[in-house]
Amino acid sequence: MAKKATKARTAPRAKKAAKSTTARRKTATRAKTATRRKSTARTTTRRAPARRDAAAKVPAAIALAAQQLKASLTVAEFPDDAIALLQQDHRKVESLFEEFENTQSKAEKASIAAKICLELRVHMQIEEELLYPPAHKEIEHDLVDEATVEHASAKDLVHQIETMDPAAHLYDAKVKVLSEYIKHHVKEEENEMFPKLRGHNLNLHDLAARLTKRKIELIRNYAKAS
C-alpha cells in the first residue's frame, strides 16, 4: 500500500516536471525564432540602403547628360507606334556616333559618349522590360535571345566607356567597337524582328505609350542620380 501511495504521489510530480520541461523547450524555441527574425530584420535593414546606393551610383557624365535630355523632353516627340519609337532611338544613336567620329576635342567626345551611353542604357532597358517578353511569345525565340545577348555585350562596353578617361589610349577604339555592335544589332532588329512583330498580335500603339512612359521615367531617375 505504501508503494502504491508513493507512486500515486510521484505520478503528478512527474507529469508536472514533464509539462515544465516541455514548456521550457517551447519557450526556448520561441526565443530562438524571435532572435532569428530580429537578425533577419537587422540584415534586411542594413542591406536596403546598400541597394539604394548601388542604384544611385551613376557616372556624373551620365547624370549630366540625363539632366540635359530631361530639360528638353516632351511626350509629343515620341511616336505613337512602338516600332517607330524604337527606330527613332536607333537613328538618334547613329547620329551621335557620327558626331563622335567627326569631333577632335576630348572634352566634346566625352560629352557625346556620355549621351550615347545614356541613350543606350535607356533604350536597352525599355526593350528588355517591355518589348522582348511579348516578342518572345509572338516570334522565333532565337531572334529575341540573340538580341538579349547582344545587349549584354553592348552593356559591357558601355560600362567600360563610362569609367574610362577620354584621354585613355583605347577610349576612341571602344566607342568605335560599340558603334559596330549597335549597327549589327539595329540591322537585325529592323530587318528581322520588327517586320515579324508587325504581323502578330501586339498592340503597338499601347506598347508605344508604355515605352514612352518608362523611357521618361528612366531619364528622370538618371538625372536625379548625380
Q: 57 pLDDT band (50/70/90 cuts)?
A: confident
Mean pLDDT of 103-127: 97
pLDDT number for residue 54: 37
Nearest in space to 96 (alpha carbons), one of 110, 86, 106: 110
Mean pLDDT of the chain: 82
Retrieve residue 151's grid coordinates. Answer: 545587349
Which of helix, strand or coil describes residue 47?
Answer: helix
Mean pLDDT over 208-220 rounds to: 96
**Separation of alpha carbons 144 and 134, rounded Å:** 10
Check whether 2 has a pLDDT greater than 90. no
Range 134-160 average pLDDT = 93
What's residue 50's pLDDT?
38
Strand, coil or helix: 225: coil
| Burial of 180 (C-beta count, 10 Å sphere; 0-12/13-18/19+) | exposed
CB < 8 Å & 24+ apart, contacts of 215-218? 215/78, 215/122, 215/123, 215/126, 216/73, 216/75, 218/121, 218/122, 218/125, 218/126
Whole-angstrom distance, CA of residue 132 vs CA of residue 148: 8
- Per-residue pLDDT at 12: 52
pLDDT of residue 27: 55
Q: Pull the grid cell for residue 147.
A: 538580341
Query: Looking at residues 86-115, what average pLDDT do you find?
Result: 97
What is the per-residue pLDDT for 138? 87
Give the whole-number percent of the chain exceeding pLDDT 70.
Answer: 73
Are 212 and 82 in contact by the 8 Å Cβ rule? The answer is: no
More confident call, 140 vs 193: 193
Q: Is the pLDDT of residue 205 over 50?
A: yes
Greatest mean pLDDT among 58-67, 71-80, 125-134: 125-134
- Of residues 4 and 94, more confidence is placed in 94
**Cβ 113 vs Cβ 100: under 8 Å:** yes
Mean local confidence (pLDDT), 152-168: 96
Model confidence over 11-51: pLDDT tens digits? 555 455 455 555 556 555 565 555 555 444 444 334 433 33
